[in-house]
Structures are given as C-alpha cells and as structure tokens.
Amino acid sequence: MLETLMETTPLLLAGVFFFGLLVGSFLNVVILRVPPLLEHDWRCQCQELLEIKGAEEVRPPGIVMARSHCPKCGHGIRPWENIPLLSYLMLAGKCAACKAPISIRYPLVELITAVLFVVTIWHFGPNLQGLTALLLTALLIAMAGIDIDHQLLPDNMTLPLMWAGILASFWSIHTDLASSVTGAIAGYLALWSIYHLFRLLTGKEGMGYGDFKLLAALGAWMGWQMLPLIILLSSVVGAIVGLTLMGLGKMNRDKPMPFGPFIAGAGWIALIWGESIIDQYTRSGSFG
C-alpha cells in the first residue's frame, strides 16, 4: 500500500495535502497556546525570583491534551467540528453553539500548510530531505503566526530549530557541516550588527533578538550561502508591505512590525528555489 502510494504521484501528493491539513490544524493550536504558556512561566519565574507570594495562577491549557473550545461561549469543540478545513465550511465559519464567527485564520493556516507541504514534497520527493523540509516548513509557519500575534519568536522554537539544522548537516541532508555552522554564526551576527547599527543611528530598536536566532536557524539548515538571498527577500518584501500598510493607514509609523514572518517566508522560498535563484543570477552576470 505504502509503496503504491509513493510510486503514484497524484496519490502521494493527495496524501501529503491531507497530512498538511492535519498538521496545519495542530499548528493553529501551537500558535494559540504557546505564548500564554510562556507568559505564565515567565510570571512564575519572576515571582519566585523576587520572592513575591500571591495566589497561584492557573496554568493555561497545554498544547496536546487540553480540548479546544470556543473562546466566546466556552463550547467544547467536538471531533466532527474539528475536521481541518471541512468543518469550517460545514459550520459556515460560525460556532455550532453560539454562532460567533470563527476566525478565517484557522482554515487559512491549514490550507497554507497543506499547499506548502505539497510543494515541498513535489520538490524534494518522499525522502529524508523531503521529511526534514516538512519539519522546517511547519515550524516556520508556527513561528510566523506567533510573531504576527505577539511579536515574539520563542527561544524554545528557534534554538532547537537551529540545533536540528546543525545535526542534519552531519549527514549533509541540506548542506554540509562547515556551511551549517558558518551559516548559524553568520545569520545571527548579520542581524545583530544591523540591529545595533540602527539603534546607534536612530536610538530605536528595529527588530528583536528572536529575529537573529531565526536567521541563525535558517543559516544552520541551508548554509551561509543562502543568507544574502534570505536577507534581501525578507527586507524588500517587509519594506513593501510596511510602506503599503502605512499608505493605506493600516499601520502607524511608530508601531513596530514583526519581521519574523518575512524571514520565515524568505527562508522557505530559499529552501525550495534558493539554488535556482542564485544560479540564475550567477548565469545572468548579476553577481559580476
């Protein structure tokens, strides 16, 4: 059965699409629940450090075991109301109990995950490269979502991702060990340098340390050779989106805009098409 599925491209991609929907549903839970869990742990650590005694806080729901519910009425989501993409369509985008609107972001994350998974397997194939690329893709989607909501790139996601990239390089899955380690160092230092130069010139902080760690993780996965492309793509797209939002009056000039989603998006593009883009520029003489 498995061999037939892997040998038949349409069946394989259909299976990957369905699997991507399931992973996307789980990523919605990660995006929603990781920040409150982190904030709870930080508050507890601060109270312990400062020796502040107060009422013990109730820990927010965990990622795996806690049942999903409607944030408006508390209605527990039943299994048939939690089918990726399909349940949203059947419920017409509304809670089954109170009819409160369900955010369009939930099916969008599921659909985006499924599509990116299909493209990833189409590019790499059902092999070790493809499987590790799926892991990277899923984590990039989760971190982009968290950064959009909270302007936060958690260390418990960026740092394990970086070490996973270095570990994968021992077998040269996406790059060799030397390029991976150099990429992790260069990725961190590149944005670290830009951050401090910007702060020196303007007195403002242009990005967070999580952005440094995310770029370091991408450097570890793909090698230092991809870093110029990732930085260029994320900066150009980020600038265009920022200027567009300000022009439309959707964002204040003084309001910080999360940069992590642009780094994540540029990193995924580099993962899939980076070599082709660099090769095309090299052949056209754009690099001299």
3 pLDDT tier (thresholds 50, 70, 90):
low
Give yes or no for a contact between 275 and 174, defined as CB atoms under 8 angstroms apart: no
pLDDT digits (tens, 9 = 90+) for 59-85: 777 777 677 777 778 777 888 878 899
Whether 286 has a pLDDT exceeding 60, the answer reads no
Which percentage of the chain shows pLDDT scores above 70?
93
What would the mean pLDDT of 262-266 be, rounded to a whole number? 96
CA 10, 15, 18, 19 dihedral sign is negative
pLDDT digits (tens, 9 = 90+) for 178-221: 999 999 999 999 999 988 888 888 777 767 889 999 999 999 99
Instruction: Pick the range with the lowest mean pLDDT from 55-64, 93-102, 157-166, 232-241.
Output: 55-64
- Indicate the pTM of the whole model: 0.91
Q: DSSP letters along 273-286, please?
A: HHHHHHHHHHHHTT
Which percentage of the chain shows pLDDT scores above 90?
54
Query: Closest Cα partner for 259 from 203, 213, 200?
Result: 213
Give yes or no for a contact between 38 and 154, defined as CB atoms under 8 angstroms apart: yes
| 175 vs 55, more confident | 175
Query: Domain residues of the chain, as ranges?
Result: 1-112, 127-288
Residue 82 confidence (pLDDT): 84
Return the amino acid letter for 99: K
Give yes or no for a contact between 222 and 174, defined as CB atoms under 8 angstroms apart: yes
pLDDT digits (tens, 9 = 90+) for 113-157: 999 999 999 999 999 999 999 999 999 999 999 999 999 999 999
Instruction: Pick the range with the lowest mean pLDDT from 143-152, 236-245, 271-280.
Output: 236-245
Residue 287 confidence (pLDDT): 42
Residue 110 confidence (pLDDT): 97
Whether 1 has a pLDDT exceeding 60, the answer reads no
Give the separation between CA 285 and CA 288, rounded to whole angstroms: 5
Q: Which residues pair with 76 in a beta bridge?
A: 69
226 pLDDT tier (thresholds 50, 70, 90):
very high
Return the amino acid letter for 193: S
Whether 274 has a pLDDT exceeding 60, the answer reads yes
Whether 9 has a pLDDT exceeding 60, the answer reads yes
